[in-house]
Structure 1
Amino acid sequence: MLSSPNSSPLIDVATAREIALSQVEALEEVRDLALGAALGQVCARDIAASVAMPFFTNSAMDGYTLRAEDLGEAGGLLPIAGTIAAGAADPQILPRGAALRIFTGAPLPEGADTVVPLEEASEAEGALVLTSRPERGANVRLAGSDQPMGACLVARGTRIAPQHIGLLAANGIGRVPVVRAPRVVVLSSGDELAAPGAARGHAQIHDANRPMLIALAEAAGCEVIDGGILPDEVEPLSRRLADLSATADLVLSSGGVSLGGRDPFRPAFVAAGGEIAGWRVAVKPGKPVVFGRLGATAFTGLPGNPMAAFVGFHLFALAQIARLSGRAPTPFAAFKARAGFSWRHSPGRQEVFPVRRLGTSATGLPVLERLGIGVSATLFPLAEADGLAVIPAMSEGVARGDILNWHPFCAG
């Protein structure tokens, strides 16, 4: 049974996030990927170092290696007995009373305990001339000093970034256990929609939401299936939703979820056998959001308003994707900033809006400018935005200099 508008009060954003998250569970399927294919995937279990690093004691500088005690009390000249390059095939021994040229990363010879940088030495007639006396152990990287054996290189639930690839490669690890990427279907609903690049009818607009949501889901590490544009008719939409439930972990739709007579998503979802867990959220933009499940598949229906769809993805779908991937969902807008603007707000719904960073306050916080004033449907302000900021539902407004919570786009 569909609830009537009057019997469906608005859900606050925190509760809506809990409902959204309750529709998904962490995926258990693990895949073993080559290191080069693991970027952006989520590590399925802790990866520990099998050895300590560095593997061997080596030079941190290009220069000369010596035995500190050979310098004597007043320093002195040391004959240069040879050169050690990085990757030297055979171990070497430092002769008593001599020095060896050495390059960064080259293994320290037996008996050596100090490296003098090139900038602090010179050569004269085959001997090393020092400008100052070095301290014993200077510029030497001891075996195991960077990373102990057994150290956790990448923790379970970590989304693998380029620096993790580098660390794993340095440890000789060529394959990585990762959680299967969530399969997400993205579709749009609406007779008014034409595909980007296609000819549009007299009263049509180009579908911005589907390409945008596909890009957002791919950036979040999903395997994305383009569900296309569906008409504003309950029966074909219901059949499509039922078909998709067999292939997806999460279906993201946009459009057709409000109270309009031509908004078919909710009745189509129920006709397909879906169960609605929550509907209508106290957020602006983005009130008509639907959460539910159809079998093992979670469904999140976002509004057709492009800005609202963008906001809804960051508020709800991003958290669902994190949980599916085995990661802990991060709070939305957890960073602090100062308002570089004033704005009166009507209490009732949490408001989310694009902002641009103007600079930094005297206390080190970003100073934000509000964008898109008086415009809630267009994506145009997002092109200049550095993130999204939030005004709490019961706030009466913001004064210049007030503390704000915001979500910088670089935070993911």
Structure 2
Amino acid sequence: MSAASVEEHRVLTRRLLNPLTIRSAEPVPVSDALGRVAYADVLSPFDLPLFRNSQMDGYAVRSASVATVPTTLRVTRTIAAGDTGSEALAPDTAMKIMTGAPVPEDADAVVPVENTTLDGDHVTITVSRHSGEYVREQGSDVRAGTVLVRAGQLLEPRHIAVLAAVGLPYVDVCSRPRVAVVTTGAELVSAGEKLRPGQIYDSNGVTLASHLRANGADVVAVFRSSDDPEVFRGILDDAVASAELVITSGGVSMGDFEVVKDVLGPLGGEFGSVRMQPGGPQGTAVVGGVPVLSFPGNPVSTVVSFLVFARDIVREAAGLAPIPTRRLPLKNSITSVAGKRQFLRGTVQDGQVTLIAGPGSHLVAAMAWADVLVDVDADVTALGAGTDVSVVAL
């Protein structure tokens, strides 16, 4: 793969990953559906409320019996929430009723307890009530067949609440793309281990997995390989066996120990440079029918590569909307390297963009402090304060 523009490489990765966007439905318990995406419209199987019930603690009455107040009625029984009795209410009587309890037949109003005085088995009503007051009618919220959740809806707690209220045990959601991450490098060690000279902590595995999960993917495994081709090939085989997409980090540049390129190249992988900074070295391959995206190993390069080439299609495969690009003005003037599209880190304050640190691919802290990626065209070398630039949320 010779030097390509960002858009050319985007087209290549889109073509490679497009099959991931054809998703199937996955039934999951409603209790586990938070953050998932509804696969199809969800219809209510029942009316809600399921039956006429009381909105208040008080007394179920015929409104005609309390048209003139004060009036005293005989209390014939108490109805608790969950009561299954169906005794009709006689004229000029009342039934004590709890919130949520079924309203008896022939009762058309509920008098709140604070508008009453109880004396033995008689209650004095001091405020008249019209028909329908404090009575929740069956289906007054939704009718059976009403669409509760639309296809493509990201399920939030409010959606879980209504699905649970109509008694749905499962909901069909979009299946998540299964992704495996493989980081490479003899210098990498796990967090918590003591570093020896020349070693660094493996942040890319954790970082890529976090970005993938945040964008709807199911991260099935995070592997780490040395620079030994046999070791990497064995790990790659395990990754391919468990995933629909494999993302690798490191081993794609022009050095002597580029294990990803050395192994995937003979398998038909394409490696080269994209005219961008950071993230220039890129690779793509297909192993056992599974697409492999290979990103450079510098931490910021890895993240920018994911954001530019993989995030939107991973989100699409998960049923999520793309992250929108905005145009915002620069707070200060900036300079840029000619011939390479720059993806700079910035922060938005008061509707203006300020760059955070420089363009270096090792500036991890600057990525943490930033909240947007600033996209500067390859033919731009300087932009003045107030100039609008394209930004996308990190």
1:3-28 residue CA offsets vs partner (Å, 9 max, x unmatched): 3xxx423223xx54443333232465
**CA distance in structure 2 between the partners assigned to 1:282 and 1:92 by the alignment:** 80
Match of 2:372 among 375, 385, 388: 388
Deviation for aligned residue 1:344: 1.7
Match of 2:331 among 321, 327, 341: 341
Match of 2:363 among 378, 387, 391: 378
1:184-204 residue CA offsets vs partner (Å, 9 max, x unmatched): 211112233222222333112
Aligned length: 382
Which residue identity lines up with residue 358 of structure 2 in the other structure? Answer: G
CA contact (8 A) 1:339 1:402 kept: yes
**CA distance in structure 2 between the partners assigned to 1:192 and 1:237 by the alignment:** 14
Q: Does 1:320 align with 2:313?
A: yes
SS of equivalent to 2:251 = coil
Q: Which moved more, 1:316-325 or 1:233-242?
A: 233-242
Deviation for aligned residue 1:134: 4.8
Q: Which runs of 5+ in 1 are unaligned?
A: 362-366
Deviation for aligned residue 1:237: 3.4
1:61-100 superposed matches below 5 A = 61-72=56-67, 75-79=69-73, 81=75, 82-100=77-95
Match of 1:127 among 124, 128, 139: 124
Deviation for aligned residue 1:56: 1.2
Deviation for aligned residue 1:54: 1.5
Deviation for aligned residue 1:216: 3.0
Partner of 1:305 in structure 2? 298
C-alpha change, 1:190 and 1:223, in structure 2 (3 Å) is closer
Match of 1:196 among 191, 195, 206: 191
CA contact (8 A) 1:274 1:295 kept: no
Partner of 1:21 in structure 2? 14
1:334-391 residue CA offsets vs partner (Å, 9 max, x unmatched): 4x586683242437525242536x5xx6xxxxx4664632264233245455x32434
1:130-178 residue CA offsets vs partner (Å, 9 max, x unmatched): 2xx5554344332122222223344455554444433332222223445
C-alpha change, 1:100 and 1:181, in structure 2 (3 Å) is same
How does the TM-score come out when normalised to structure 1?
Answer: 0.76
CA contact (8 A) 1:27 1:179 kept: no
1:2-401 superposed matches below 5 A = 3=1, 7-12=2-7, 16-24=9-17, 25=19, 26=21, 31-72=26-67, 75-79=69-73, 81=75, 82-117=77-112, 121-123=115-117, 125=119, 126-130=123-127, 134=129, 136-219=131-214, 220-231=216-227, 233-234=228-229, 236-238=231-233, 240-271=235-266, 273-276=267-270, 280-281=273-274, 283-325=276-318, 327=319, 329-334=320-325, 341-346=331-336, 348-355=340-347, 367=351, 370=354, 372-374=356-358, 376=360, 377-384=362-369, 387-393=371-377, 396-397=382-383, 399=385
C-alpha change, 1:31 and 1:191, in structure 2 (3 Å) is same
Which residue identity lines up with residue 71 of structure 1 in the other structure? Answer: V
Deviation for aligned residue 1:222: 0.2
Deviation for aligned residue 1:101: 3.9
C-alpha change, 1:404 and 1:182, in structure 2 (3 Å) is closer
SS of equivalent to 1:320 = helix
Q: Which runs of 5+ in 2 are unaligned?
A: none
**CA distance in structure 1 between the partners assigned to 2:62 and 2:384 by the alignment:** 67
Deviation for aligned residue 1:251: 0.6
C-alpha change, 1:315 and 1:87, in structure 2 (3 Å) is farther
How does the TM-score come out when normalised to structure 2?
Answer: 0.79
Which residue identity lines up with residue 363 of structure 2 in the other structure? Answer: T
**CA distance in structure 1 between the partners assigned to 2:265 and 2:71 by the alignment:** 89
**CA distance in structure 2 between the partners assigned to 1:314 and 1:62 by the alignment:** 55
C-alpha change, 1:9 and 1:391, in structure 2 (3 Å) is closer
Which residue identity lines up with residue 380 of structure 1 in the other structure? Answer: A
SS of equivalent to 1:252 = strand
C-alpha change, 1:146 and 1:242, in structure 2 (3 Å) is same
**CA distance in structure 2 between the partners assigned to 1:47 and 1:141 by the alignment:** 24
Which residue identity lines up with residue 341 of structure 1 in the other structure? Answer: K
1:49-94 residue CA offsets vs partner (Å, 9 max, x unmatched): 222222112233444444334333x554353624433222213433
CA contact (8 A) 1:21 1:323 kept: no
Larger radius of gyration between Structure 1 and Structure 2:
2
**CA distance in structure 2 between the partners assigned to 1:217 and 1:150 by the alignment:** 36
CA contact (8 A) 1:181 1:223 kept: no
CA contact (8 A) 1:11 1:280 kept: no
Which residue identity lines up with residue 123 of structure 1 in the other structure? Answer: T
CA contact (8 A) 1:391 1:397 kept: no
CA contact (8 A) 1:60 1:104 kept: yes
CA contact (8 A) 2:179 2:217 kept: no
C-alpha change, 1:210 and 1:137, in structure 2 (3 Å) is same
SS of equivalent to 1:245 = helix
SS of equivalent to 2:126 = strand
